[in-house]
Amino acid sequence: MIERGTIVVNPTGLHARPAVQFAACAKKYKSKIMIRQADGNPVNAKSIVMLLSCGLHLGDKAIIIAEGEDENEAADTLIKLIESGFGE
């Protein structure tokens, strides 16, 4: 199991469109993937509803937790997606 953090950089945070992109990307991996705010509870990163409930906004620290055979690749890719600002 690995845990990696990054800062949300897109101005509107993890709202509907980025949540759809994030969940779709997470679903490509076999690993169990969770996400949480620095002080929050982890939620299923493959669920759009759970991602929206996480309430990640601009400047928040997002922690990716991945466990499985492709955990490193999954975490790296998802961190890059957050750091890209989801193209916004």
Please state, in angstroms and rounded to a whole number, the distance separating the CA atoms of residues 41 and 27. 20
The structure tokens listed for 61 are: 């620290």
61 alpha carbon, distance to own chain's centre: 10
User: How many CA atoms lie within 13 Å of 46's alpha carbon, on the beta-carbon side?
Assistant: 10
From 4, 15, 32, 57, active-site residue: 15
Residue 15: active-site member: yes
Catalytic sites, residue numbers: 15
